[in-house]
Structure 1
Amino acid sequence: MAFLDIEHLEKSFGTNRVVKDFNLEIEQGEFISLLGPSGCGKTTVLRMVAGFESTSSGAIRIDGQDVTNLRPNQRNIGMVFQAYALFPNLTVAENVGFGMRVGKKPKAQIKSRVEEMLQLIGLPGLGGRYPFQLSGGQQQRVALARALAVQPRVLLLDEPLSALDAKIRVSLREEIREIQRELGITTIFVTHDQEEALSMSDRVVVMNGGVAEQTGEPFEIYNHPKSRFVAQFVGTLNTLDATVIDAKTGQVRVGETQIGLNRELPGALAGSTINLALRPEVVSLGRKPGRDTILKGRLAEVHFLGSTIRMRVDVDGALISLDTFNTPDTPPPRIGDAVELSLAERDLLVLTD
């Protein structure tokens, strides 16, 4: 049995079903991300696990205990919010120890645990400061320490990095993952940022319209999306219209180029149009060994990004993005130049609804 078992979870507000038959099994110590756009239901799922929202139907079990109808303070769950939610009139140490004081723990135990937590989050010696005296990143570390101080069975993180600038977000997400691994605490992380989800998680749940569209390891989610939504939402995606020549053998035509997909196209008819997709990193500028499919087009855009250069090439009206490394001695082609793109047929995804 999974450590955290979410079974047939549903939530409706009036006639609006915001979470639909959500199922997820999480092993002890796993780091799971709920990824999706605003309004997809990911935060509602988190709040139901925490006990801040009641369930319309379904069950939530932690370590074999049914907590579906328990109050938040009866579930032994730690939660970190997007807006920190620190008490401004309490010091850092008092904020971190707040849950233990509510639980009537001995003062000596609280003091020892607070010192341990401040050491863990890299803020030793700052226990006497107030939240307004800390940076945003430091405040979020304090919020994390407060959630962990009570030794929760499950840690819930509701977009905790979205209010921080880019550099602090990267460093803090690495710290959060390191602390989570060190403590071995089961964690659910809600985010709309695909890079955060892919870089931090053991598994990712991609949500759309209240439904879990796909659950899997980051490598699987990115490279083998099971729906059009997952393919388009996770990472940058190029899409191409292809005309079916032979559905049984997977022969299609993109512009003037015939491509053999080497797979059957169920439900497609000769002459019909299907959608193909490919990631920018599997497209090369010019001819490359192992990438035998050649598409011809004109360079439409060039964006210099430092170590990489993002180009967009017009191929029969479709804009194909690709990335190349910046080489100081080799400037990129100019906008309007005729170019060739090479790719491998195996890297083409067939998008389905």
Structure 2
Amino acid sequence: MSFLVLDNLQKSFGPVQVVKNFNMSIEKGEFVSFLGPSGCGKTTVLRMIAGFEAPSGGTISIDGRDQSRLKTNQRNIGMVFQAYALFPNMNVFDNVAFGLKVAGTPRAQIEARVKEMLALIRLEHLADRYPYQMSGGQQQRVALARALAPKPQLLLLDEPLSALDAKIRVSLREEIRQIQRQLGITTVFVTHDQEEALSISDRIVVMNAGRADQIGTPSQIYNRPATRFVASFVGTLNMLDATVVDPAQQTVQVGGQVITLKERLDGKSAGDPIVLALRPEAGSLGGPGDSTLKGDVLSSSFLGSVVRTKISVAGSPVSFDTFNAPDLAMPKPGQTVDLRFSSGDLLVVRD
């Protein structure tokens, strides 16, 4: 039995429906990220799980218990916000202890639990400091400890890293994932940053216009995007217009070049237009691969560990990345080259 179940969840603000027929089951101990652009409904779903917003339709169940009539403080949920939301008049110890004090926990148990939490986030030495005396990363770690101190059954994180600089974001997201694994707590993480979602999630929900466009593992989301939106939003993809030549033989034509796909063309007929997608790292010049497209070099850029080359294939720009090597010869603009790749790396983009 799934631990967190969202069944036909809906939310409208006036005439605007921001969450539409959202369905998902999350297992106990799973780390799931809601990924999508601003306004896609991901934070609204999180707020409904937390009890800050009432669903317009559908149900939310945690560990088999319907949450519909429970207030936020009755749901046993820990929440971490983007803006830290620490109490400025309380030091670190008292911030972490706040939920325990509200619950009437005995003083000795509070002290032991706060010390445990501060050790978990490695900030025992800052117990007497106030929020204004700490960095943003330190404040967010305290906010995490405060959310975990009452031993919630579910942890919700609403873009907790977006206010931090890039280096701190990377280290803190790894720390959050490590703590989550250590505690085994079921976690829902909201972000608009695809790298964050791909690097720390068990599964990702890519949201678009209030719906879940695709739910899957990071590998599934990145390597096999189910819709045009997922393909364009997650990672970088080259898009190529093509025409079906023979669906039975899985052949298509890009410009005047015929290639064979590994993916089936069910429901397609000869002459049907389709869109193909290829990741930049899947292509190479003269490397392995069973498929080739000829194109003219538009530019080559040296990016340190990677050389990024852009070519024109049948009038469409296609970028591909090659790992740098001391003897690597960069293609020159105007040069005609053969882009090689595996037919299995070429995806048919479906709406």
TM over 0.5: yes
Q: Does 1:324 align with 2:322?
A: yes
- Report how far residue 262 of structure 1 moved: 4.8
Alignment-derived partner of residue 332 in structure 2:
334
- Report how far residue 67 of structure 1 moved: 1.1
Any idea what SS the aligned residue of 1:12 has? strand
1:193-212 equivalences under 5 Å are 193-212=193-212
1:130-145 equivalences under 5 Å are 130-145=130-145
Instruction: Check conservation: 2:278, 2:345, Cα contact below 8 A.
Output: yes
1:1-353 equivalences under 5 Å are 1-284=1-284, 286-289=285-288, 291-353=289-351
For residues 189 and 113 of structure 1, the distance between their equivalents in structure 2, rounded to whole angstroms, comes to 24
Instruction: Check conservation: 1:154, 1:187, Cα contact below 8 A.
Output: yes
* 1:135-163 alpha-carbon deviations (Å, 9 max, x no partner): 11111101100100111010000010111
- Report how far residue 331 of structure 1 moved: 4.1
- Report how far residue 333 of structure 1 moved: 2.1
* 1:184-238 alpha-carbon deviations (Å, 9 max, x no partner): 0000000111111111111111111111111111111111222111122111111
Any idea what SS the aligned residue of 1:49 has? helix
* 1:57-107 alpha-carbon deviations (Å, 9 max, x no partner): 111111111112211101010000011111111111111111111112122
Which has the larger displacement, 326-335 or 153-162? 326-335
- Report how far residue 328 of structure 1 moved: 2.4
Letter of the 1:236 counterpart: T
For residues 162 and 136 of structure 1, the distance between their equivalents in structure 2, rounded to whole angstroms, comes to 11
For residues 273 and 5 of structure 2, the distance between their equivalents in structure 1, rounded to whole angstroms, comes to 42
Instruction: Check conservation: 1:5, 1:26, Cα contact below 8 A.
Output: yes
The two structures, once aligned, show a CA RMSD in angstroms of: 1.4
For residues 4 and 271 of structure 2, the distance between their equivalents in structure 1, rounded to whole angstroms, comes to 49
- Report how far residue 327 of structure 1 moved: 1.2
For residues 178 and 264 of structure 2, the distance between their equivalents in structure 1, rounded to whole angstroms, comes to 44
Instruction: Check conservation: 2:263, 2:347, Cα contact below 8 A.
Output: no
Instruction: Check conservation: 2:299, 2:310, Cα contact below 8 A.
Output: yes
Aligned residues: 351
For residues 95 and 271 of structure 2, the distance between their equivalents in structure 1, rounded to whole angstroms, comes to 66
For residues 68 and 305 of structure 1, the distance between their equivalents in structure 2, rounded to whole angstroms, comes to 52
Any idea what SS the aligned residue of 1:97 has? helix
Instruction: Check conservation: 1:9, 1:22, Cα contact below 8 A.
Output: yes
For residues 338 and 116 of structure 1, the distance between their equivalents in structure 2, rounded to whole angstroms, comes to 63
Any idea what SS the aligned residue of 2:207 has? strand
CA spacing shift, 1:25–1:262, aligned 2, 3 Å: closer
For residues 205 and 30 of structure 1, the distance between their equivalents in structure 2, rounded to whole angstroms, comes to 13
Letter of the 2:228 counterpart: R
Structure 1 residue runs of 5 or longer lacking an equivalent are none
- Report how far residue 267 of structure 1 moved: 4.0
Give me the identity figure in percent.
63
CA spacing shift, 1:109–1:177, aligned 2, 3 Å: same
For residues 263 and 297 of structure 1, the distance between their equivalents in structure 2, rounded to whole angstroms, comes to 23
Instruction: Check conservation: 2:7, 2:22, Cα contact below 8 A.
Output: yes
Letter of the 2:259 counterpart: I
Instruction: Check conservation: 1:309, 1:324, Cα contact below 8 A.
Output: yes
For residues 54 and 8 of structure 2, the distance between their equivalents in structure 1, rounded to whole angstroms, comes to 14
- Report how far residue 241 of structure 1 moved: 0.8
Letter of the 1:349 counterpart: L
The TM-score with structure 2 as length reference comes to 0.96
* 1:321-348 alpha-carbon deviations (Å, 9 max, x no partner): 1111111232422333332211121211
The TM-score with structure 1 as length reference comes to 0.96
- Report how far residue 264 of structure 1 moved: 4.4
Instruction: Check conservation: 1:287, 1:294, Cα contact below 8 A.
Output: no
For residues 171 and 236 of structure 1, the distance between their equivalents in structure 2, rounded to whole angstroms, comes to 24
